Structures are given as structure tokens and as C-alpha cells.
Chains A and B, each alone.
Chain A
Amino acid sequence: MVVQTQPAPRTAPAPPSVPVPGESVPPPSVPLSFLAAAGLGLSLFGLAVWFAADRIVTSPAHPGALAAVHVGMLAFLTTAVLGAAHQFTPVVARRPLRSVTVARVTFVGMVATAWLLPSGFAHGPESLVAAGGVTGAVTVLLAAWNLSGPLSVRGRGVPLAGLRLSVTYLVATVAFGVVYAFDRQAAWFPLLPHRVLAHAHVGLLGWLGLTYVAVAEKLWPMFLLAHRPRAREGAWAVGLVGAGVPLLAAGLLFAAPAVAWPGGLAVGAGLVCHLVSLVQVVRHRRRPLELLHGFLFASAAFLVVAVAFGAAAALLPVDTPTRTRLVTAEVAALAAWLGLAVIGHAHKIVPFIAYKALRARGVTTGRSGRPLLFADLLHRPTARLTLAVAAAGYLLAVAGAAAASRDVLAVGGATVAAAGVLVTANLAIGPRRAVRAGGAATSS
């Protein structure tokens, strides 16, 4: 494909003949506001797990436990992934969002939902839960409409195909949530654990998981300069996860093992393809491994653990409390898989977005006086510390959930909260240091 550009007029000043930065992507403040809020959300999630640790290990459906889980899902994971999607989708599709204003409204709605729903679970009244559900539904519908602009572009490969499906599952997740929120007052049907798990798995695997699996097929080869001309693993991963999630969710919802099993197997096979894709990208890389890949490998390890816990919960002839522990550990490991992936990619995405904003402000040189690089926009030792702290926190949280140990889970939550502080501070301070360094370079 050739992008034929328009010749510049002969009279100065001539406008740039290439696409102007910002033509298809939203202003940096849009994704950065989501990502900054998600950093705070990560810390709040860790604190919520700390406070609710005893409830999570004894009664995962307790309102305190539900509040902690929803802080993680809404304030951290969904806020971060929506922010990244508002940046990534227009770039890959080469078509802008339908409305920047709606993107900003989506951010406000996301923050409101992430506060209303967990607060309603934790403290009541029930009307707060219902208000959170309605706010979340409106917010998600706005996001889906906005993203449908770039997502409606034909082609563009596996990443956009996966995103089309995952945004659909986001809407389905919220639909589940709204019905369940009102059911708490109307009592249309009992909120049995298998029905709650259907909601959780659509959100974790269909929305967040599928988004990551799809986006990784674009980001991983790009970051490692890995060319895989005949790679099919990513397409299989997106296809299998996308096809398996509805079956798994329906099987859980209606307590129908004959439906849940094929869905679970398809999702498991898709996630294996996703891991194979990671191995293939690493094998065909043309750059040394770096910090991001530490996050990716730790994240992938938790995915393996999650699949193992899920399979054990489904296969082993154990009593109900043990099965509950296994499922809780599975959900915790899935959250760890996604959480570490989000934190790792934030170390790439935030510097990139900040770079564009800094260039627009005339900051073109880094600390060493050479041209400004993404690497100038974060402190690497702090980033390495973040990896260690986040991985340790999630490991303790999964272990605490699996062993039903309140203390281990609480320490894990506090450690995850510390990781949230580290990553947010590092990525917020880096661009400010670049501004100062750029100013110093200019003045010298």
C-alpha cells in the first residue's frame, strides 16, 4: 500500500505533507487520564484485597469480597484496557474515534462506576449498586459506540478482529452485571455461585483476556522486531477464545456441563495458542529481551497457573469448600495474568503517548542531549522494582486464595497496592524529568 501524499505549495510556510500527528489518535489527555486513574485503581484494588482478605477466603460471594473484586475489575483492569483501546484502536485501524468528547465522558463514567458499584457492595444501600450498574451500562455503551468507528474498518488482521469480539463481550459483561444488580432487589432468581462465575468469566476471558490476546499479536512482534510470515497461532488464539467464551459462560450460567466443557476446552486451547505465540515471537526476535518481557513471562506463568486451577476445580472430586478455594485461586491467577500484562505494557504505552505530547511542546532532547527516546520517560530501576513487587504481590494473593490464608492474601494485597504506587509514580515523574532535561538542554 502506498500513501500518496499531497505536494506542498511552493509558497512558504508549507504545511507538512505527511499525516499530522493526532490525525487519527485522540489527544494524549484521553488515554493518559484512563491510565492514570487505573494506576490509582491498582493501589485501591490492593488495599481492598487487604481489607477484605478474611471475607475473600471464607466467603467469596460476601459483599466485601465482591467490592474488592469489582475495584480490581473496574477501577484497574477495565479502566486501563479501555484507555489503551482508545489509543490503540484508532492507530491500528487508521480511523479516529467517533468522538473525543464521548471518550472523555466515558472516562468520567468509568470513574463513577468504579466508585459507585464497589461502594454499594461494601456499604449499601442497594440503590447504590443499581446506580453503579446503570452508570456502568451507559458508560460501556458509549465506549462501544465510540470504538465502533475504528473497529468498523474492514481487515487490519487479527488484532481488530479480536477487539470487535472483545468489545461485544464487554457489553455482555455489563449486561450480566446490570441484571444481577437489579436482581439483588427484585429477587428474580437466586444469585448462585455458578451464575456469578458466568459473569466473571465473560469479563475476565471474553472482555479483558481476549483484548489482550488480540492486541498482543500486534504489540509483541512490533516490540521485538519479530517477523513470523506464516504465523497462525494468534489467529487460532483469538478464534478459540472468542468461540469458547459464550459456551463456557452459558454452561456456567445454566449449570450445564455438556455446554461448559467444550467452551472451557476451546478457551484453554486458545490460551495455549496465545502462549505458543509468545514463544514464537521470542524465538524470532531481532532485539534483546527487555523489562517488558519480564512482565510478559511472569504474566504468562500466572495464566498457566489459572488454567491449572480451573481444570482442577472442574475435574477433581473434591468437596464444595475445596472447589470454592480452587475457583477463587483461578480467578485470582487470571487477575494476576491480566494485571501484570497491563502493568508491563503501561511501561511502553505511557512513555509513547507522553513522547508525542512532549514533542508537541517542543521537548525534543533527552537527558543525554541526544534525541528524546521512550526510554528517557521512565526510571528503569524503579520499573524493575515494580516488576518484582507486583509479581510478588500477585503470587502471595494467589497463594493466599488457594490456601485460604487470610494473612498471606492480605500481604499480597498490600504488596500489589505498593506496586500501584511505584508504577504510577514512575510513569508520572518520567515525563516531568524529561521536560526539565529538555529545558536544560535548550538553555545550554
Chain B
Amino acid sequence: MIDPSTADPQAESRREAALAALGDVWDPELGLDVVSLGLVYDVRAEDDRVEIDMTLTTPGCPVSEQLPSEAESAVRAALPGVEVTVNVVWDPPWTPERLSPLALERLGFRRR
């Protein structure tokens, strides 16, 4: 496990680059990127490794195999030579409260 507290400037730069790349990965059903949707739980960078924890809106959703693969490809393309690992996690489960304000607006979501 990578300890985020040990992040150095280069690691922080890679973390930001990974997040930026994930911002270009769109959920094809909702039409929003995975960061705005709150699907990315954590991005950890150390040395030449980047590790991402992400989830999906529900287990068994149609893009459950597609979206993590696209996320990994996007980060790998943004950080050539860096080892990229994407963990699909279900705990804690995603809830609409994780949507960003932009996503809320785009989805016509009403905060409850």
C-alpha cells in the first residue's frame, strides 16, 4: 500500500496529472466525467507508481468492466512509463451525495 503522507513534489505532480486524465474519462450513460461524478475515491502516487481507487454507481452496472479500463488507459497515456493500477472498490458504496456541484447541475439533481 502506498502511503499518501510520503508524497513528494514529483508524486504530487503525477497525482494531479492522473486526476486531470481521469477528468477526461466520461460515464457514457450520464455524460459526465468520473471525477465530477465522485467515482474516484483516491489517487496515490509514489516513485514510478500511481494507484487509483475508484467505484461505480452500482455493482453490476453496464460499464462495470469498461469504465475502469478506460480510466487506466487514460492515466497510462498521461503518464507514460508509470505503473498504473486501478482498484475497483465497493466500500464505501457510491451515493449521489458524492456528485460534484457541476454534476448536480448537469443532472438536474435535487439535493435531499
Contact = CB atoms under 8 A, between A and B. Distances in A.
Interface in B20-60: 24-26, 28-31, 48-49, 57-60
A24 interface: yes
Nearest to B76: A14
Contacts of A156: 60
A92 B56 CA distance: 13
B65 interface: yes
A4 B96 CA distance: 25
Most buried by B among A18, A156, A222, A356: A18
A227 B96 contact: yes
A19 B87 contact: no
Nearest to B89: A2
A221 B93 CA distance: 14
Nearest to B90: A1
Interface residues of A, number: 44
Nearest to B58: A222
A44 B34 CA distance: 42
Contact of A2 (B29, B71, B87): B87
B96 A225 contact: yes
B51 to A, nearest CB: 9
A374 interface: yes
A8 B69 CA distance: 13
Contact of B65 (A2, A8, A19, A222): A19
Contacts of B29: 223, 352, 373-374
Contacts, number: 113
Nearest to B93: A227
Nearest to B59: A1
B88 A24 contact: no
Given A1-B90, A91-B60, A286-B96, A372 B84 contact: no
A125 B68 CA distance: 55
Chain A interface main SS type = loop
Contacts of A1: 59, 89-91
A227 B95 contact: yes
Contact of A92 (B60, B90, B109): B60
B83 A25 contact: no
A230 interface: no
A22 interface: yes
B58 A3 contact: no
A372 B28 contact: yes
A18 B69 contact: yes
B100 to A, nearest CB: 13
Given A1-B91, A5-B87, A91-B62, A287 B107 contact: yes
Contact of B66 (A7, A21, A286, A371): A21
Interface in B61-77: 61-66, 68-73, 76
Interface in A1-46: 1-5, 7-8, 10, 12, 14, 16-25
B81 interface: yes
Contacts of B65: 18-25, 91
A371 B24 contact: yes
A2 B60 contact: no
Contact of B84 (A3, A17, A373): A17
Interface in A372-399: 372-375
B86 A373 contact: no
B60 A218 contact: yes
B107 A288 contact: yes
B62 A352 contact: yes
Interface of A: 1-5, 7-8, 10, 12, 14, 16-25, 91-94, 156, 218, 221-223, 225, 227, 286-288, 352, 355-356, 359, 370-375
16 contacts: A1-B89, A5-B86, A5-B87, A5-B88, A7-B85, A8-B85, A10-B83, A16-B69, A91-B65, A221-B58, A222-B58, A227-B96, A286-B109, A287-B109, A355-B28, A373-B26
